[in-house]
Structure 1
Amino acid sequence: MKKLYENIKSGKIEIVENPDPLCKPDGILVKTLYSAISAGTEKWVVEFGKGSYLKKAREKPKEVARVIDKIKKEGLINTYKQVMNKLDEPFPLGYSCSGEVIEVGKNVTNFQVGDYVACFGGGYASHSEINYIPKNLAVKINNEKFLKEASLGAIAGIAVEGIKVADIGIGENIAVIGLGLLGQIAVQILKAGGCKVVGIEPDDFRREIAKESGCDLVLSPKDGIKSILDFTGGDGVDKVLITAATKSNEPIKQAGEIVRDKGIVSAVGLVNLDIPRDIYYKKELSVVVSRSYGAGRYDSTYEEKGIDYPIGYARWTENRNVKMFLNLLESGKLSIDKIITHVFDFADAKDAYDLITNKKRKENFISIILEYKDNIKNPNKEKYSVVVLSRRAVANVDNVRVGLIGAGNFVSATMLPHLSRIDKYKFVGIASSSGSRSTHLAKKYGFKYSTTDYRELIKDDNINLIIVATNHNTHAKFVSEALLEGKDVYCEKPLSITREGLNKVKDALDKSGKRLIVGFNRRFSPAAFRTKEILKNRQSPIVMNYIMNAGYIPPEHWVNDKNVGGGRIIGEACHIVDLFRYFVGTRVKDFIIKPIDEMTKDAPGSANANILIKYEDGSIGNITYTSLGDKTYPKEKCFVFSGQIVIEIDDYRNMKICSDNKCHMIKFGGMQKGFKEEYEAIADAIVNGKDFPIPIEEILETSGVLLQEEKDSSGD
């Protein structure tokens, strides 16, 4: 299937061949028939991509601040590489479309194959021949006659939410400032709801379209307020919707002037909210800001997992807002066809974007729709889960032939840049659920094919190493299946987030006889290697203390979801448990995990705990893992005490060794966490038929330590 992207670094727009997306349990696959270009939002995105790095920085000051912090921690060169890598990722355009359901997830009961639907949501309802849509982000279309107009559902949902938060009633006088696409839809919905509407817009063409759509009074911002006072009997309008997008505060100022005493101003568009206090104070006005399409927006539980809000508590969710628009459309109360000024074939999408971004073109437009003629002409087009990028064979000797499951940030920013610099690795196939990122990375790093079906990789005889780097809850499943298919496996940590998953992996290891390694890279770092050398002749137990100043991650992040990420202790502290095991060299005897009491969602016990481990030789290790620290303090510090020697590892940049009443410092020339050394050791093991560099007994022991059912737990 084909999908439209912009490269944010270069600003280039292109249609890219991707494998068809995977249909997940809580959603549907939709063959797109029409998609709407949002001339406001998407124009900004495209122009942002085409801007210089300086312009990009000015537009995104918060991101610039984060980059500066990263430079302080990780150095200029490493940060620069990561930023360029991020900017180089393709950005899918579009967030509103309509089409036909071609596959239904196992947890979906309200749709069936053949239904027509309106879809919405950034990252889902893209300009793409096929889209995966979570079930709460789709609404059934009852009359296929309105498929084209229904593709505007997301933009209409924004208008509906702006109307709802303004508490607009039947018969009220409403002003709409800004008569672009959003404003035009708002005008029609307000008219359908029995309101008298004043439209204010500087552009002659847009004013004329609003008149044709039934707007009662259409004015230019220069016309003053007399016409509005005459229109409302001298009172002013009851409510104002600002659907303009501007850095000026003129719309918010004008809204205050034309609205009546105790009126409401609803800011729907991206407008400067520098409120002139004197105007708003004297009239005792209220200002409300609508949240995109409505309740549920930005809530992953609602949008991704499909858990709806009870109607008694949230009458107007984003889904129900779009459904209201479709009801009005199908009942004949809206004339959306009047504002669809241009229809382009999807194959000509670049011409459509040129219309909204090229200032030399003087062509007027309101709504621009992409029509998927190939999908319409070929309703039974075959699905493809694989895109072949190269048919050249990969050599079968003296190399590691990689099948990579996962295409997330760690893969793109850390794993692949390191692996690509090691000659022994040859890239064969890469899989991701959407296919977008995997296809991009396949092209960038020379994989032979990209797929949305991971089984293509584990059944490929040309692959001798499966790498698993997906969400944590899938690790045990993918590892087990790959082992049973006769593949060696490298899995990013953690190996499993449940005892059941870990037991499944153990069983697969026993049955397959294949090799497994987990990405515990810290033990491969130069600092860890040097520490191990110092400790090799010790005569007594050692004491270890590790501080992981992990930093804050929002509660809604997938890592914090116990069922997906397993929590940060399981997901990251396992690194330290493995490092301690490497230093000590003997088995864990017992351990205790003490999380903090969860007083707020911003300080979960799954991200804040002390872990005390005792080993069979009498050594002890203490881990303080916390998300509560300040980011200016180093993220990781390790202290080892043994035989009148003190070793301090500081963020893997340097280490201090103190003995015989003196200390000396070793610097590593930047943060060296052991990725390069780890990947080289894995390649050496595969090419030369050696055991993997971490004994499987240690991997299984480390992976089991943190898998505790109870919050206060100790091992035995």
Structure 2
Amino acid sequence: MGFNIGIIGCGSIARFRHAPEYHDNPYVEEIIFYDRNIERSQQLAEEFGGRVAKKLEDLLSDPTIVAISDCSSNEAHHVHTSKALLSGKHVLCEKPLAISVKQAEEISEAERKSGKKLMVDHNQRFTKTHQKAKEILEKKELGEVLTFKTTFGHQGPESWGVTKSNATWFFKKERSHSGVAGDLGIHKIDLIHYLLDDEIEDVHAFHGALDKVDEHGQPIEVCDNVVCALKTKKGRLGTASFSWTYYGAEDNATTIYCQKGVIKIYHHPDAQLIIEMGDGSVIKYEIEQIQTNDNQTSTGVIDAFIDCIVNNEEPPVTSGEAIASLKVVEKILGSN
């Protein structure tokens, strides 16, 4: 049983993550690309052997397309994803689900009305290292979680985006809305919710545009750095930092402090998971390198999305979970 997939938005995330992973999935027969800039969709269609939809309506009304990836910029998700769901398509939406909780709830309503599956691309859950950490935490091998710290930072989206310039939409308030908080921060918020089986409830945060400038040499309209203190519903305390100005190697590290020891995730390039016990013993797991902008490996997200369609199962990242993370981003941005 094979089916076709549509992709809306043909920027870097479509080119490096969605298209190649659909191309490699045995259930996917053909990918149909749509972008407002037809040259971009033509380029990806050539690269991955698919075809081009000239209008969004052509994509949504195509009966051969069973599911759609919404890789458009943040401010367009609530339009594209809602339309796709109501056109009878399953949807994998890039994060953040929308630029506001209100818009995200409109998408969730479209999902409910349509009866179709909606999954959100919070891909950190799918790394083998994070899954191993969750398994250890669920078994309570180290007792209860007490505190945590997490970070996600790199040199900025202008080095990753399709145009490789500081005119990137990520720097525009009306398109990105939340800057580094919605680009990188929301991933780690979702990860903490996933690992701890908990939800961040209380937020104290600082954010600012410290260094990035736009194509006119002006400070960008959204934050390039966030530092925050967090408290969860179950009373765990933590800190988080998100940055587009880590002008060295990408940092994607998380530390979970438990009653009997510490779990260190992505701190060391050769041992992705390190457990330090209270008695001084250390266990190192060599699992796999994390995917970075410079190291494109399969995220597992596309396969998980296709599997939930084929097996008629609930998506592994639901709209409800995505909205929970978005609520935290809103609290961060409203913090100062």
Q: TM-score, normalized by length of structure 2? A: 0.84
Tell me the equivalent position of 2:329.
706
Rounded to whole Å, the distance in 1 between the matches of 2:128 and 2:268 is: 8
Whether 2:260 is the aligned partner of 1:658: answer no
Whether 2:251 is the aligned partner of 1:631: answer no
Q: How does 1:535-554 map to 2 (within 5 A)?
A: 535-538=137-140, 539-552=143-156
Q: 1:510 aligns to what SS in structure 2?
A: helix
Give the alignment partner of residue 169 of structure 2, picking from 549, 558, 561: 558
Tell me the equivalent position of 1:414.
17
Give the alignment partner of residue 440 of structure 1, picking from 43, 67, 72: 43
Q: 1:648 aligns to what SS in structure 2?
A: strand
Tell me the equivalent position of 1:584.
196
Rounded to whole Å, the distance in 1 between the matches of 2:90 and 2:125 is: 21
Tell me the equivalent position of 2:216.
none
Rounded to whole Å, the distance in 1 between the matches of 2:253 and 2:8 is: 32
Would the aligned equivalents of 2:117 and 2:309 in 1 still touch at CA under 8 Å? no
Give the alignment partner of residue 569 of structure 1, picking from 170, 174, 181: 181
In structure 2, the CA distance between the partners of 1:706 and 1:416, relative to structure 1 (3 Å rule), is same
Q: What residue ranges of structure 1 are gaps of 5+ in the alignment?
A: 1-396
Q: Which has the higher contact order (CA 8 A, sep 6+)?
A: 2
Q: How does 1:681-700 map to 2 (within 5 A)?
A: 681-700=304-323
Deviation, structure 1 residue 428: 3.9
Q: How does 1:395-474 map to 2 (within 5 A)?
A: 397=1, 399-447=2-50, 449-474=51-76
Deviation, structure 1 residue 622: 1.9
Letter in 2 for 1:459: S
Letter in 1 for 2:171: N
In structure 2, the CA distance between the partners of 1:629 and 1:587, relative to structure 1 (3 Å rule), is closer
Rounded to whole Å, the distance in 1 between the matches of 2:156 and 2:42 is: 31
Q: How does 1:191-270 map to 2 (within 5 A)?
A: none
Rounded to whole Å, the distance in 1 between the matches of 2:200 and 2:211 is: 32
Q: 1:630 aligns to what SS in structure 2?
A: coil
Rounded to whole Å, the distance in 2 between the matches of 1:600 and 1:711 is: 21
Q: What residue ranges of structure 2 are gaps of 5+ in the alignment?
A: 159-165, 214-218
Deviation, structure 1 residue 459: 1.6
In structure 2, the CA distance between the partners of 1:672 and 1:440, relative to structure 1 (3 Å rule), is closer
Query: Can you list the C-alpha shifts for 1:94-139, whole angstroms capped at 9, x where unaligned?
Result: xxxxxxxxxxxxxxxxxxxxxxxxxxxxxxxxxxxxxxxxxxxxxx
Rounded to whole Å, the distance in 2 between the matches of 1:712 and 1:671 is: 31
Tell me the equivalent position of 2:265.
649
Q: 1:707 aligns to what SS in structure 2?
A: helix
Rounded to whole Å, the distance in 1 between the matches of 2:241 and 2:186 is: 12
Deviation, structure 1 residue 594: 2.0
Rounded to whole Å, the distance in 2 between the matches of 1:661 and 1:651 is: 18
Percent identity over paired residues: 22
Whether 2:90 is the aligned partner of 1:488: answer yes
Count of residues in Structure 1 that have an aligned counterpart in Structure 2: 314
In structure 2, the CA distance between the partners of 1:588 and 1:460, relative to structure 1 (3 Å rule), is same
Letter in 2 for 1:471: S
Rounded to whole Å, the distance in 2 between the matches of 1:628 and 1:525 is: 24
Rounded to whole Å, the distance in 2 between the matches of 1:562 and 1:586 is: 30
Rounded to whole Å, the distance in 2 between the matches of 1:676 and 1:464 is: 21
Letter in 2 for 1:692: P
Q: 2:223 aligns to what SS in structure 1?
A: helix
Compare 560-569 and 420-429 and name the one that shifted more.
420-429
Deviation, structure 1 residue 671: 3.0
Deviation, structure 1 residue 564: 1.0
Deviation, structure 1 residue 599: 8.4
Rounded to whole Å, the distance in 2 between the matches of 1:693 and 1:458 is: 24
Whether 2:205 is the aligned partner of 1:593: answer yes
Deviation, structure 1 residue 444: 2.6
In structure 2, the CA distance between the partners of 1:614 and 1:709, relative to structure 1 (3 Å rule), is closer
Deviation, structure 1 residue 510: 2.9
Would the aligned equivalents of 1:542 and 1:584 in 2 still touch at CA under 8 Å? no
Would the aligned equivalents of 2:203 and 2:335 in 1 still touch at CA under 8 Å? no
Which has the greater radius of gyration? 1
Rounded to whole Å, the distance in 1 between the matches of 2:35 and 2:64 is: 19
In structure 2, the CA distance between the partners of 1:541 and 1:664, relative to structure 1 (3 Å rule), is closer
Give the alignment partner of residue 514 of structure 1, picking from 116, 133, 138: 116
In structure 2, the CA distance between the partners of 1:463 and 1:536, relative to structure 1 (3 Å rule), is same
Rounded to whole Å, the distance in 2 between the matches of 1:499 and 1:563 is: 16
Rounded to whole Å, the distance in 2 between the matches of 1:483 and 1:525 is: 28
